[in-house]
Chain A
Amino acid sequence: ETGVTQTPRHLVMGMTNKKSLKCEQHLGHNAMYWYKQSAKKPLELMFVYSLEERVENNSVPSRFSPECPNSSHLFLHLHTLQPEDSALYLCASSQVAENYGYTFGSGTRLTVV
Chain B
Amino acid sequence: GENVEQHPSTLSVQEGDSAVIKCTYSDSASNYFPWYKQELGKRPQLIIDIRSNVGEKKDQRIAVTLNKTAKHFSLHITETQPEDSAVYFCAASVIGSARQLTFGSGTQLTVLP
Show the binding face of A for B, using Cβ within 8 Å. Answer: 2, 31, 33, 41-43, 45, 48, 50, 55-56, 58, 90, 96-97, 99-107
Contact = CB atoms under 8 A, between A and B. Distances in A.
Nearest to B51: A99
Nearest to A4: B43
Nearest to B47: A101
Contacts of A104: 36, 43-45
A107 B106 contact: no
Contacts of A100: 46, 49
A90 B44 contact: yes
Nearest to B100: A45
Contact of B100 (A56, A97, A105, A106): A56
A50 B96 CA distance: 11
Interface of B: 32, 34, 36, 42-46, 49, 89, 93, 95-106
Given A41-B105, A99-B93, A31 B98 contact: yes
Given A31-B98, A33-B100, A56-B100, 12 more contacts: A2-B45, A42-B105, A42-B106, A48-B98, A50-B98, A56-B99, A96-B97, A96-B98, A101-B46, A102-B101, A104-B36, A106-B43
10 contacts: A42-B89, A50-B98, A90-B43, A90-B44, A96-B98, A99-B93, A99-B97, A101-B32, A101-B34, A104-B43
A102 B97 contact: no
Contacts of B96: 96-97, 99
